[in-house]
Chain A
Amino acid sequence: MTDRTSPPPDQPVRPQRTRGERIAAVGLIVVCGAMFVQALGYGLWQRNQPGPGLFPALVSALMVVLSLLWLITKPAPRPSDGLLGAAVAAEEAAEAAEASRIERAGRRTIVFTIVWALIPIFALDKIGFVLTTTAYVGGMLIFIARIRWWLVLPITAVVSVLVNLGADRIGIALPDPFRLLWLLGV
């Protein structure tokens, strides 16, 4: 019995948008729709002049229309679609499975990198450049590059001090709330 929804075997199958694309398009419609409503609140026209909301309203409306088009249209068929690309498609599927396996391992690295980025975001202006860089870069070299901590931390600390000193000499002020450079006598 043939599935009534599937195309005849001699017809090329037009690819669908991926799930990621559909989620992104819906997300954009929601966010840009909200921005459109907010832009209307800023005022489209004030005292015979274009208001602050006009341009954002136009752009967000355009964004909603484009995202809608992204959601409802289908991508152009690639050369690997249809009969010609059956072998290519199989090969691509195998590659995708392998990539997905590697990506699971890589995802852990990404999560670590993102969490570790909180150090400069929250600490740079509070504990200063030298300590932040030593912790941030040193930590990543230990966890990502797998270099021993007793090698990494002293080197990172010395390089951070030297960079801070060099920046100071050419007039770039890096945060140093504890006056470490002064304490180190440099």
Chain B
Amino acid sequence: MDILKDLLLGFSHILTPQILAFAVLGCALGMITGILPGFGPSAATALLLPLAFVLEPTASIVMIAAIYYGSMYGGTITSVLLNIPGEVSSVATGIDGYEMTKRGEAGKALAIAAVGSFVGGSLAVIGVLFASPFATLAIKLKFTDVFALSLLALMLVIGLAGSSMIKGLISAALGLLIGTVGLDHFTGSPRFTFGTLALSSGLNYIAIIMGLFGLAEILENLGSGKVPDFSANIGSLRLKWQDIRDSLGSMGRGTVIGFFFGLVPGSPAAASAFTSYAVEKRVSKHPERFGHGAIQGVAGPETANNALGISNFIPLLTLGIPSSATMAILLGAFIINGLQPGPLLYAQHPEIAWGIIASLIVSNVILFIMALPLVQVWVSILRVPTLILYPVTLGVMSVGAFLTNNSTFDILVMWVSGLVGLALRKLDVPLAPAALTLVLGPMLEANFRRALSLGNDPVQTFLGSPVSASAFALIVVVFLIRGVLTTRSAFLRRKKALVPVAGEEV
């Protein structure tokens, strides 16, 4: 009952024309910046942080939060329409989203992404209301636990987009290896930099992702001589009730996955989106449809992404701990306004603390209302002939890669990644595991090394805690199941290949 009273206080504080206008503006700005390749939520919020200096506290925090989830949806648009993920968390959505576009269901894919974002965000807000126990639990996780959980997420994702386990593992290891380039975070020693300054800060993973996915796609289409004509195959923009019914389970699972990933400090959004995709593929009665435009492959990751976006607020609001780069920027907005998030915020400024929670609900509704009618606008991009769309897209991608660090070296990184991506596609090596390990890699290494530094006995260190022991046990189970399934399918294929065609002599 107290929670309801507090929430009403929050609503009374934010339901003013001025704050609502800032929320609408924030969602729109977020969506626009999110569409630009290279501009993920953290870049968009950082870019617009100076607004915190000129607005009053609640308005500035509500606006920056609205920019945050506006940009998360914005990143999905280019991923679905052109297979150009502006951020790594959109890669999972693009796997089936882009296939739906190729099939003439771009509008449907964007609409289900908007519905998924709304459902994930709304359900996660309920979690935020009863948040503090979850946040304290997540903070208690040890380095080994986070390492084991990251490894588990990785194992679930390997083999996502391809049929060969070896190729999936190679892709994952490639991402890990690329992640080690640059200065070592513990000792500051350069690794694989070859004495160049540009490599010292590591390879820009946004440029790599744009190259591996977007650029490789464009090069493959240009090289094949059969450039797809999206304009002839735009299809229906409306969702059918059956589509929503088919996606309800995915949205529910995506919410739970995203919500819990969001509680773990440092957990990348991409991990929750990929885990949701992997779970959907595994629980589906038709896993063969994944990678070929399964609507659940869009709904699940997108819901997880937004649920994570909302649950990211829990450690920040309850403990004052930012769990991601974007939350650290939001923490900056709090501090600029003389506020310190944490338990005291609820006691000293309840109207602001509850106002922010109420704004999550309001902005979520605003985003949903804005996103659905805009689907038609975004899809109209596909009406532009592909041979005009591709050069313009390449120009935008080059500028996007440049802007991430104001360095032309990142354009070069994008092009090298594009060529590597093209080669991997030709060799049928899945790219999704590499995308995930690129972001997970540094975190995996940091937790692995911290865990090793703490304990003398590696077995005790890694299997001592119930969380890590369970995660490692699950990894073994996943491996065993995958091994058995691969052997079985190989056996069945071999048997099938021996069956003669009717009427043919053997």
Contacts and interface: CB of A to CB of B under 8 A. Distances in A.
B449 A50 contact: yes
Nearest to A98: B225
B223 A106 contact: yes
A85 B497 contact: yes
Interface in B455-506: 486, 489-490, 493-494, 496-501, 504, 506
B415 A62 contact: no
A99 B427 CA distance: 16
A175 B498 CA distance: 64
Contact of A122 (B173, B184, B408): B408
Contacts of B170: 28, 63, 66-67, 70
B177 A83 contact: no
A124 interface: yes
B180 interface: yes
A137 B184 contact: no
A185 interface: no
B177 A20 contact: no
Contact of B493 (A48, A79, A99): A79
Interface in A70-120: 70, 73, 75-79, 81-85, 87, 99, 102-103, 105-107, 109-110, 113-114, 117, 120
B487 to A, nearest CB: 10
A82 B170 CA distance: 28
B394 interface: yes
A20 B427 contact: yes
A102 to B, nearest CB: 4
Interface in B130-182: 163-164, 166-167, 169-170, 173-174, 176-177, 180
B177 A32 contact: yes
Nearest to B390: A144
Contacts of A76: 163-164, 486, 489-490, 493
Given A70-B170, A82-B497, A84-B501, A55 B164 contact: no
Contact of A124 (B192, B218, B223, B398): B398
Nearest to B449: A50
A12 B498 contact: yes
Nearest to B187: A52
Q: Majority SS of interface residues in chain B?
A: helix
B177 A10 contact: no
A69 interface: yes
A49 interface: yes
B385 interface: yes
B388 interface: yes
Contact of A121 (B174, B406, B408, B497): B408
Nearest to A105: B225
Contacts of A18: 427
B199 interface: no
Contact of B497 (A66, A70, A77, A110): A77
A46 interface: yes
Contacts of A28: 170
A114 B449 contact: no
B497 A38 contact: no
Given A56-B180, A105-B225, A77 B494 contact: yes
B241 interface: no
Contacts of B166: 66, 69-70, 73
A122 B411 CA distance: 9
Contact of B388 (A21, A87, A147): A147
A145 interface: yes
Interface string A22-51: 001000100010010011001100101111
Contacts of B169: 62, 66
A120 B223 contact: no
Most buried by A among B173, B191, B426, B445: B173
Contact of B192 (A56, A73, A129): A56
B15 interface: no
B224 A102 contact: yes
B395 A171 contact: no
B402 A10 contact: no
B47 A12 contact: no
B427 A24 contact: yes
Contacts of A165: none
A87 B391 CA distance: 40
B392 interface: yes
A125 interface: yes
A38 B415 contact: no
Contacts of B399: 120, 124, 129, 133, 174
Interface string B426-461: 110000000000000000010011001100000000
B74 to A, nearest CB: 14
A68 to B, nearest CB: 10
A155 B110 CA distance: 30
B411 A121 contact: yes
A2 B302 CA distance: 58
A1 interface: no
A28 B500 CA distance: 40
Contacts of B423: 20, 24
Most buried by A among B223, B390, B448: B223
A172 interface: yes
A157 interface: no
Most buried by A among B163, B170, B184, B224: B170
Contacts of B497: 12, 77, 79, 81-85
B403 interface: yes
Contacts of B453: 48-50
Contacts of A79: 493, 496-497
Given A12-B494, A76-B163, A144-B390, 4 more contacts: A18-B427, A110-B222, A120-B395, A170-B47
27 contacts: A10-B506, A20-B423, A49-B449, A49-B453, A54-B449, A59-B177, A62-B169, A63-B177, A70-B167, A82-B497, A83-B499, A84-B499, A99-B224, A103-B224, A106-B224, A106-B225, A117-B411, A120-B408, A121-B408, A121-B412, A121-B415, A122-B408, A133-B399, A144-B387, A144-B390, A171-B47, A172-B403
